[in-house]
Amino acid sequence: MPEAQRRLFDSHCHIIDHRFPIVANQGYAPPTFPLEANLAQARPLGVKAGAIVSGSFQANDQTYLMDVLPRLGAG
């Protein structure tokens, strides 16, 4: 199927934005992977929608998610 016709759903993606709290998990803090980086990788593959998953390094803080969701739209 040509890429232009793909309609993929990413069932598990992380947005890591160090403007929001990041808590090291067993000494590991992930590198930045903001929304823009995610979209730059996902769009060429035909990803049209997805599920953003919080990581343990985000603890119980959802401020990053509240920032991202309005920018993603309905998908």
> What's the pLDDT tens digit per position in 48-69?
999 999 999 999 999 999 999 9
Q: In this predicted model, what pLDDT tens digit does every residue of 6-63 receive, in sequence order?
A: 789 999 999 999 999 999 999 999 999 999 999 999 999 999 999 999 999 999 999 9
Residue type at position 67: D
Spans of all domains in the chain: 3-72
* H helix or E strand, kind and range, residue 1: none
Q: What is the pTM of this model?
A: 0.83
**Cα(7)–Cα(9) distance, rounded to whole angstroms?**
7
